Structure 1
Amino acid sequence: MSDGVQQAILGGGCFWCLEAVYQQVKGVERVVSGYAGGHVPNPDYETVCTETTGHAEVVQLQFDPRIVSYRQILEIFFVIHDPTTLNYQGNDVGARYRSVIFTLDDEQMHVAKELVSELSQGKHFSRPLVTEIKAAPTFYPAEDYHQNYFQTHPFQGYCMAVVGPKVSKFKKTFQMLIR
């Protein structure tokens, strides 16, 4: 990344939700929905949905740490999804919806583990966190029709019922980080 831009790869349910939120964050320059963490090269949506590839639906972020820190990226992540549910978010069920942080270097690994420890010790959640923290595997961009999904389909049922409320929760909780 040039000009000090960094990357983050996160999975916390449907990638449309994470994408829609992070597109609203000051300092996030690019968000790409995709797949990571599985054993099948070049997966597509249909095969990921079979739960046989091992991939999670994730977003890859490019962000300017002078505007939004990696820790703030993760703080948003822990507010907009439930990190205590193993392999599901709401009605989205399957390992592809798991809570996972794929770190790109030792510093990200340290920050992620430190924050998970703080959240676990602070009893911010009524159940234990199940978020996986792993070194980043290969990231595969999702098909074009999955990119910018909420922006292009705001009145689609899932977007109105699931994505929209997550965007609203972000805006209410992180007003200082809204674009």
Structure 2
Amino acid sequence: MTTKNLQLATFGGGCFWCTEAVFQEVKGVEKVVSGYSGGNAPGHPTYREICSGLTGHAEVVQVTFDANIISYEDVLVIFMTTHDPTTLNRQGADVGTQYRSVIYYHNDLQKEIAELVSKEITPYYENPIVTEISPLDVFYEAEKEHQDYYKNNQTQGYCSFVITPKLAKLRKLHADKLK
């Protein structure tokens, strides 16, 4: 029996429904929780408050993964290639600071790896990478209706037109890393 080496990664790549759906398909990922980080408003923010753009929080996911199966570096490469890390405060039609591209690191090693991955993938993009790399302060879990959103709402328009194509891109680019 192999002991698990569970670690956390926290990042935002636009709408958390998209990022959550991507990582739920990745081999070695144990759990994905949608939530909010990086804001300055006191207390536990709500989805409505986040959507206003006034709290400073980003929509993020917190990924629990087994580092014996998938490395933090591979998790970051998947993250950086399944959203657009070159658009400031925007992913497609989702616009605002709550949709920023951000990696919240949990320790110095994660910071170092995030900076390295960002530098390594830069040549693959025409525009500069604008992904923020910051220390994780607090992670607030989003409301229940935002958890497992794609799994529970696949026929909803946003899911069909935005998330399903992201999953197709994931399957094309990272087939060897999927469950």
Same fold flag (TM > 0.5): yes
- In structure 2, the residue matched to 1:102 is 104
- In structure 1, the residue matched to 2:160 is 160
Cα distance in 1, alignment partners of residues 159 and 137 from structure 2: 28
Amino acid at match of 1:76: I
* 1:4 CA displacement: 2.0
* 1:118 CA displacement: 1.6
Alignment of 1:78-93 (within 5 A): 78-93=80-95
* 1:3 CA displacement: 4.1
Q: Which runs of 5+ in 2 are unaligned?
A: none
SS across alignment from 1:35: strand
TM-score if structure 2 supplies the norm length? 0.96
Alignment of 1:1-179 (within 5 A): 3-40=4-41, 41-120=43-122, 123-179=123-179
Find runs of 4+ consecutive structure 1 residues off by over 6 angstroms: none
SS across alignment from 1:110: helix
* 1:174 CA displacement: 0.7
8 Å contact from structure 2 (residues 4, 68) kept in 1: no
8 Å contact from structure 2 (residues 103, 134) kept in 1: yes
Cα distance in 2, alignment partners of residues 48 and 23 from structure 1: 23
* 1:175 CA displacement: 0.8
Cα distance in 2, alignment partners of residues 147 and 119 from structure 1: 30
Amino acid at match of 1:115: V
- The CA RMSD over aligned residues, in Å, is 1.0
TM-score if structure 1 supplies the norm length? 0.96
Amino acid at match of 1:97: Y
Over the matched positions of the two proteins, sequence identity in percent amounts to: 49
Q: How many residues align?
A: 176
Cα distance in 1, alignment partners of residues 156 and 125 from structure 2: 31
Cα distance in 2, alignment partners of residues 109 and 69 from structure 1: 14
Cα distance in 2, alignment partners of residues 165 and 104 from structure 1: 30
Cα distance in 2, alignment partners of residues 46 and 166 from structure 1: 25
* 1:168 CA displacement: 1.0
